[in-house]
Structure 1
Amino acid sequence: MLYFNKKADLRMNYYIIGDVHGCYHTLKKILNHWNPDDEQLIFVGDYINKGRHSGKVVKYIRELQQKYPDTICIKGNHEYQMVKYIEDETPYKDMKENYSNTLKKYDLKDKQRDDVTWMKRLPLFHENQVIYVSHAGVNFLGVRKFKEDSWWSVLRYRGKLRRMKKLQVIGHTPTLTERPEFTEKFHSLNIDSGAGNFANMSAVLIDANGQLLNTFTEEVDKDDRP
């Protein structure tokens, strides 16, 4: 199990980006709203599949990590499943279609194998005094949350969340409004606005006290669509 636990830097705000799904051009647009001097960059996972540019997305995000070492990249279920396919040497015909389509242009089996290692090592969550960020959220029972192949895990869960005092920020399940949605009942903020469905990509700015300051949404660029 991989996770990341770090005390909050109370001098900084947090710029958190929802599911990307291979939408490279849209990602660059959403990053235009980010101020790296004052805001820690955090991603909720699902960098690959569906959009046209999974390889470019991973390359770009890894470059951001090199330039800004406090950048946090959470593992999504698409990274987990891709690693499984590659390590198990799954034939293309036995893969889900969007995974096999990705591999036609993104050679994770050979040339970009280092990206597989990167995906495998991504943390399952990031937590500090004011926020808890994971891909799909902590289920209300708190069971099997770090068992990566479980439907109850923070990679896959869809349903009632555990309410925390700190703000829980998630992606994974596209919102009906195609915008970030706060749910008071769970004290949670879902920022998957449907990039995987070629709707929108969103980011949120959270202050050092865990309060929502702003939301940013960009329509998926036509050049990111298959």
Structure 2
Amino acid sequence: MEYFIVGDVHGCFYTLKRLLQYWDSDHQKLIFVGDYINKGQHSHKVVELIRTLQHKYPGTICIKGNHEYEMVQYIEQHVPIQDIKENFRHTLSQYDLKDKYRDDLKWMKSLPLYYEDDVVYVTHAGVNWLGLRKFKENSGWSVLRYRGRLKNMKKLQVFGHTPTESKHAEYSKKYNSLNIDSGAGNFDNMTAVLISESGKIKKVYTENVKKEDYH
């Protein structure tokens, strides 16, 4: 089966729906690299859609992003609202993860940090070049938040987290890695990539973030 891997979403529900029109659910495994919430206007709708897809297509993989991790930390540690980052506060004003949608928070907490098989290695931020503390969630070296030189995983590594300068997916031959964060969090683009069963990049889909997602 091929892989359809979606980059950072950041609450951009209508852009995500547009990208998913390219997904062939019968022949492509659906994978998300994380950061479903914050910045865009529709975090709740994004999570609702992704959880619905995960239920309907049990093979769907949803990786944890640093925004999901931090949201869980804020709520579980009872951080005062004034001490929460602005874009998290904005999300919470519309999306009651503390009470009404507490099950969504549990879902965020339970998400895996990576997906790996013989063909691809998928994380939110990529594996640091030393492989140091890569699964220690509160570390700057972790696959939740690392930015820098990567480790070659001997298979195609796909990640997001750091928006590319080109605002399109960027491949590194040196690390056999593909960054698919094209800047949805900055209201630039959202990207999905189709990977073959042998780990080759077959097609890249890039959509401008829809105005409905940031107005």
Shorter-chain TM band: over 0.9
Q: Distance in 1 between matches of 2:81 and 2:37?
A: 16
* Corresponding residue for residue 151 of structure 1: 140
Q: Distance in 2 between matches of 1:69 and 1:164?
A: 26
**Runs (4+) of structure 1 moved beyond 4 Å?**
none
Q: Distance in 2 between matches of 1:75 and 1:216?
A: 22
CA shift, 1:15, in A, is 0.1
Considering only aligned residues, what root-mean-square deviation do their CA atoms show, in Å? Answer: 0.5
* Corresponding residue for residue 24 of structure 2: 35
CA deviation digits over 1:32-75, x for unaligned, max 9?
11000100000000000000000000001000001100000000
CA shift, 1:89, in A, is 1.1
Q: Distance in 1 between matches of 2:116 and 2:183?
A: 24
Three-state SS of the structure 2 residue aligned to 1:104 is helix
How do 1:47-58 residues align onto structure 2 when only pairs under 5 Å count? 47-58=36-47
What amino acid is the match of 1:72? I
Q: Which segments of 5 or more consecutive residues in structure 2 lack a partner in the other structure? A: none
What amino acid is the match of 1:149? N
What amino acid is the match of 2:193? V
State yes or no: 1:21 paired with 2:7.
Answer: no
CA deviation digits over 1:111-134, x for unaligned, max 9?
000001000000000000010000
What amino acid is the match of 1:209? S
Q: Distance in 1 between matches of 2:164 and 2:81?
A: 31
Q: Distance in 1 between matches of 2:108 and 2:156?
A: 25
State yes or no: 1:136 paired with 2:129.
Answer: no
Identity %: 64
* Corresponding residue for residue 94 of structure 1: 83
Scaled by the length of structure 1, the TM-score of the pair is: 0.94
CA shift, 1:183, in A, is 0.6
Q: Distance in 2 between matches of 1:206 and 1:69?
A: 19
* Corresponding residue for residue 158 of structure 2: 169
What amino acid is the match of 1:58? V
CA shift, 1:197, in A, is 0.2
Number of paired residues?
Answer: 215
Q: Distance in 1 between matches of 2:186 and 2:156?
A: 26
Q: Which segments of 5 or more consecutive residues in structure 1 lack a partner in the other structure? A: 1-11
Structure 1 residue corresponding to 2:62, chosen from 50, 53, 73: 73
* Corresponding residue for residue 197 of structure 1: 186
CA deviation digits over 1:161-181, x for unaligned, max 9?
001210000000000111110
Three-state SS of the structure 1 residue aligned to 2:103 is helix
CA shift, 1:211, in A, is 0.5
Q: Distance in 2 between matches of 1:93 and 1:186?
A: 41
Structure 1 residue corresponding to 2:171, chosen from 175, 182, 188: 182
Q: Distance in 2 between matches of 1:91 and 1:209?
A: 48
